[in-house]
Structure 1
Amino acid sequence: MQILMCALLGYFFGNINPAFIIAKFKGFDIRERGSGNAGASNTVITIGKKAGLLVALFDIFKAVVASTLAAYLFPHIKFAKILSGSCCILGHIFPVLMKFHGGKGLASLGGTILAFNPLTFVLLLLFEIVLGFSIDYVCVVPVTGSIIFTLIYAFITGDPVGTTILSVVDLVILYKHIENFKRIQNGTEAHISFLWKKEQEIARIKKNTND
């Protein structure tokens, strides 16, 4: 029962989606514009950088709160932080309050890592920043980040249950980014440089879409 409550706690926090809420205040459904996802990157595309930053910080914070609160409420569950954080990620991706169509879980993954170990978060963040800007695609970050964190968690803790939970999250995140990798092949996936070359990126994507 405690394990179930721990999981539901994380899933509840994951259902709180600031991208969807902000877009609704702007008069539209964010899932019907841009990339179609209710997350920080699509908020940048459809609303702007400031709103995107706010969404990213909120999604990180909700995973930190879910993980930390779970560890406090269920101290006897060794993997409480990872279970609640993982369910927060899944709640963000598949929110029942949004008919299971949410975001892709990058920021909430970051929050889960931060709650587990701040140093791991900082080092992995620096690595992913270098990797992301080198390849110039955001989608590589959550996929590689989730896999690397799972390996780090397994090495540090030796916890098979938590590692299995994270491995399931890895598969879900990979599945959610299949379309991104297809768009990379087609030349229609937005580069990270969209942040400072918006008009050029939009023109490039439109051209490749028409071709």
Structure 2
Amino acid sequence: MEYLLIIILSYMVGIISPSHLITKHLKKIDIRDVNSKNAGTSNVAMTLGLKYGVIVGIFDILKGFIPVLVVRLLFPGNDVLWVISGVSAILGHIYPIHMGFRGGKGTATFGGVCLALFPVVSLVLFVLFITILIVSDYIVVPTMLAVILIPVGMIFTNFSIISVLILFIYTFLSVYKHWPNLVRIYRREEIGLREALKK
């Protein structure tokens, strides 16, 4: 019973969309109709500026961090429940029921999940993420590295193999969601972050 309850509650946290709420309030637009048409941090940064992108990013991170932290405190010995909570929150972000299942790509929320699962490692990875982002100029590059390497790295930790496999659900989903970006980078059609922010 607790599994179903955690899935539902975590999903409900995940469907809260600060990107949608902020752009609706400030610009009277649907963030899903402009630029990358993605209800997430990077699109808000491109549409409203870096300040609002940071605000949305923090909220999206908290959507993944808080449910996992709460579940971890309530069930300290069950890492499967922690990961189920995190993936449910991510799925809520990507497929919010009240937005016609058209949300973001879940990257920031995934970061919040990782922060709750292994805080010290996540802070190191965050610095690495920013470094790779600055060098590559494409958010998708460090994102792909993170969503692939983190579940792989979990194999060599104390997390159960079931938890690793559950987290891999988001890995495959993230690759699917970002595939058009990867294709555009290959074709040299993708707009870099620096260029997007200048606009």
The separation in 2 between residues aligned to 1:85 and 1:12, in whole angstroms, is 12
Instruction: Report deviation, 1:187.
Output: 2.6
TM-score, scaled relative to structure 1: 0.88
Correspondences of 1:1-211 after superposition (within 5 Å): 1-25=1-25, 26-75=27-76, 77-194=78-195, 198-199=198-199
The question of whether the paired residues in 1 share the 8 Å contact of 2:68 and 2:113 is answered with yes
Check whether the contact 1:44–1:52 (CA below 8 A) recurs between aligned residues: yes
C-alpha RMSD of the superposition: 1.6
Unaligned runs of 5+ in 2: none
> Cα deviation per residue 1:68-99 (whole Å; 9 max; x = unaligned)?
12223445633222111111111111111111
SS of the residue aligned with 2:35? coil
> Which one has a bigger Cα radius of gyration?
1
For the Cα contact (< 8 Å) 1:2–1:74, is it kept in 2? no
Partner of 1:205: none
> Alpha-carbon deviations, 1:88-142, whole Å to 9, x = none?
1111111111111111111101100110111111111122222222222101122
Secondary structure at the residue paired with 1:102?
A: coil
Amino acid at match of 2:10: G
Aligned length: 198
Structure 1 unaligned spans of 5+:
200-211
Q: In 2 relative to 1, CA 16–40 (structure 1 residues): closer, same or farther, beyond 3 Å?
A: same
Give the secondary-structure state (helix, strand or coil) at the position aligned to 2:86: helix
Q: Secondary structure at the match of 2:155?
A: helix
Task: Determine the C-alpha separation between the residues in 2 that align with 1:130 and 1:49.
Answer: 17
Aligned with 2:105: secondary structure?
coil
Aligned-partner SS, 2:157: helix
What secondary structure does 1:157 align onto?
A: coil
- TM superposition score normalised by structure 2: 0.93
